[in-house]
């Protein structure tokens, strides 16, 4: 099957009559790859939790700061971005290759919406390389096997899991998936992970997630900040630890940013 034919087959799986997480996220980020049904759901969630749009921006900015740190200060040249979502500004390869043009990035997602836009993720700097895999997060072994066409797993790799393990409802399955990936990566590799949290002082977040799980797809699972920290067991967590994404090493020009219920951290395998 040709690449265009494969894209055509995948496009048949796209539901335009039901709101979808990736498209709502794209809508909140100001993108155009969404439908009216996504905009309506996004607006309804925003009414339940007016700051929800800040989550998407905080998560994207966290990605940029983490990748710049890893490429610039830690010397990482390989990134495995699982659950990448729809392409938007400052994708992983754009940030990494702006620091180190020779960086190699493998994107992974099983969403036909993302696959339909995957060409935007393959616009690599000539010195580096990008690839896209149509795979599910749960299929760690298959992902690692295919990613080895682009990445050298004898050298450190940054595993990017931004806003994706929230789709794994069972805690032990979610922790097991992350352990399986990190167990395959060599010393000096990093885990970059973000996750929506639940906290007693943020009840509007719970209401927004409940609305989404009733009307949208795929369903989301919240975890406490302590439960998010468990994903980093056995890793050296970089300062400032597991914190609201807005508070992970913000730039001095960004000013005082609000705390959002999207928490993230970066951990090193030693």
Q: Answer for the pair 89, 115: CB distance below 8 angstroms, yes or no.
A: no
What's phi and psi for 69, nearest 5 deg? -65, -45
* Residues 82, 164: Cα–Cα separation, whole Å: 8
Q: Are 83 and 164 in contact (CB under 8 A)?
A: yes
- Residues sharing a CB contact under 8 Å with residue 267, sequence separation 6 or more, in sequence order: 190, 191, 193, 232, 235, 236, 237, 238
What pLDDT sits at residue 242? Answer: 97
The angle, 0 to 180 degrees and rounded to 10, between the axes of the packed helices 36-48 and 52-72 is: 100
Q: What is the pLDDT of residue 75?
A: 98
CA distance 85 to 112: 10
Whole-angstrom Cα distance, residue 22 to residue 14? 12
Q: Which residue has the tokens 């290759």?
A: 97
Q: Give the per-residue pLDDT at 7.
A: 43
CA distance 26 to 28: 6
Residue 34: predicted pLDDT: 80
Helices (H), the chain: 3-11, 21-28, 36-48, 52-72, 92-99, 112-116, 140-147, 171-184, 203-215, 225-229
pLDDT at 179: 98
Q: What would the two tokens of residue 208 be?
A: 């927004």
> Model-level pTM greater than 0.75?
yes
pLDDT tens digits, residue range 30-43?
Answer: 777 788 888 888 78
d(CA 250, CA 267): 17
Predicted local confidence at residue 254, as pLDDT: 53
Q: What are the φ/ψ torsions at residue 108 (nearest 5 degrees)?
A: -135, 130
Cis peptide before 218 (omega within 30 of 0): yes
Res 101: pLDDT? 98
pLDDT lower than 50: segments of the chain: 1-8, 10-11
CA–chain centroid gap for 49, Å, is 21
């Amino acid at each position: 099957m040709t690449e265009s034919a494969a894209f055509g087959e995948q496009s048949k799986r796209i539901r335009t009559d039901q709101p979808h997480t990736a498209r709502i996220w794209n809508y909140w980020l100001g993108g155009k790859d969404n439908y009216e049904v996504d905009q309506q759901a996004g607006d309804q969630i925003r009414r339940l939790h007016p700051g929800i749009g800040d989550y998407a921006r905080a998560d994207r900015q966290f990605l940029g700061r983490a990748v710049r740190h890893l490429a610039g200060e830690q010397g990482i040249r390989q990134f495995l971005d699982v659950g990448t979502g729809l392409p938007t500004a400052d994708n992983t390869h754009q940030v990494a290759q702006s620091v180190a043009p020779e960086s190699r990035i493998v994107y992974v997602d099983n969403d036909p919406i993302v696959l339909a836009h995957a060409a935007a993720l393959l616009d690599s700097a000539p010195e580096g390389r990008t690839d896209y895999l149509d795979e599910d997060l749960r299929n760690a072994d298959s992902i690692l096997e295919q990613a080895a066409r682009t990445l050298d797993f004898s050298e450190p790799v940054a595993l990017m899991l931004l806003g994706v393990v929230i789709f794994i409802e069972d805690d032990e399955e979610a922790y097991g998936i992350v352990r399986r990936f990190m167990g395959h990566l060599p010393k000096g590799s990093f885990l970059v992970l973000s996750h929506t949290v639940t906290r007693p002082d943020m009840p509007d977040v719970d209401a927004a997630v409940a609305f989404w799980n009733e009307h949208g797809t795929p369903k989301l699972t919240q975890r406490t900040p302590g439960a998010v920290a468990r994903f980093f067991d056995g890793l050296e967590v970089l300062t400032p630890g597991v914190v609201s994404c807005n508070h992970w090493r913000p730039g001095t020009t960004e000013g005082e940013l609000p705390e959002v219920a999207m928490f993230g951290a970066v951990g090193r395998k030693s």
